[in-house]
Amino acid sequence: GLFMVQYSEVEGIVLNLLTVLLSFYTVIKNTLLHTAGMKRQAVCRHLAMAVLVPALGMVLAVTSAVANAIFLDSLHSPMSWYTHSSLVLPLYFLPSLFALAAPLYIFTACKSNKLCDGIQAQMYCNGIQMIWSVLLLLATIAGIRSAYILMLVVLIPGLANFLLLLCKRNQSVPVWLCGFLASALFPAFYTIYLSILFMQVFIPVT
């Protein structure tokens, strides 16, 4: 990298916890704004679905990647993608992306709530942010030092979400989605960069 940020373990824990609190606040605030006038039970149901549906997509995405790996292993070609890196796209990325998006599409198409598609998309984005926040909290409690990766994934979208709330842009679905998704680009590319670096370092050894 071009630079290095150094801080103590205690400072890292405090930063992680503050990030989690900020994320929880923005998610809950957005949920309450979009479900204004609804009963508490309905609000909890919407929030739960916003978390569970993306979580199901993540599980299916991981399952599809593992299934592809098992299939390639049965063909005695588990490392075929290593010499042909272009195979990563059709073998792993596209199936995982489809598996990730399938529950979102199905539950949105078959929804039985009063939220419009745009608001539902915002709820799903908040649900994904909540999932990463919970993972960051668990990693911090477990004392995992590499939790800073999750911190970046949560912090930048959380700050963007907070700024959108301050500017009262959360009611405009296109503006909110563009701002939130733009804020997620850096964490996404950084995570991809670390994943590629990890594979380049360790796979030749194994």
pLDDT surpassing 70 at residue 100: yes
Per-residue pLDDT at 84? 67
Q: What is the pLDDT of residues 10-62, one digit of tens each?
A: 888 899 999 999 999 999 998 888 887 788 888 888 888 889 999 999 999 88
Phi/psi at 142 (5° precision): -75, -10
Per-residue pLDDT at 9? 78
**In angstroms, how far is the first alpha carbon of the chain from the final one?**
25
Please check whether residue 3 lies inside any domain of the structure: no
Q: How far apart are CA 79 and CA 203, in angstroms?
A: 10
Per-residue pLDDT at 206? 46
Q: How far apart are CA 158 and CA 131, in angstroms?
A: 12
Please check whether residue 80 lies inside any domain of the structure: yes
Q: How many domains does the chain have?
A: 1
Please check whether residue 2 lies inside any domain of the structure: no
Contact 130, 27 (CB under 8 A): yes
Please check whether residue 49 lies inside any domain of the structure: yes
Please check whether residue 126 lies inside any domain of the structure: yes
Q: Which domain holds residue 54?
A: 9-202
Q: What is the pLDDT of residues 173-204, one digit of tens each?
A: 888 888 888 998 888 888 777 777 776 666 55
Distance, CA of 13 to chain centre: 21
Query: 111-145 in b/e burial notation, b at 16+ Cβ within 10 A?
Result: eeeebeeebbbbbbbbbbbbbbbbebbebbeeeee
Per-residue pLDDT at 199? 66
Contact 32, 43 (CB under 8 A): yes
- The rounded percent of the chain whose pLDDT value lies above 70 is 85
Segment 154-170 mean pLDDT = 88
pLDDT surpassing 90 at residue 154: yes
Per-residue pLDDT at 205? 46
The runs of H, that is alpha helices, within the chain are 9-34, 40-74, 80-83, 88, 94-109, 117-141, 148-166, 173-183, 185-202
Contact 50, 104 (CB under 8 A): no
Please check whether residue 85 lies inside any domain of the structure: yes
Please check whether residue 176 lies inside any domain of the structure: yes
**For residues 6 and 62, which has the higher predicted lDDT (pLDDT)?**
62
Rounded to the nearest integer, the mean pLDDT of the chain is: 82
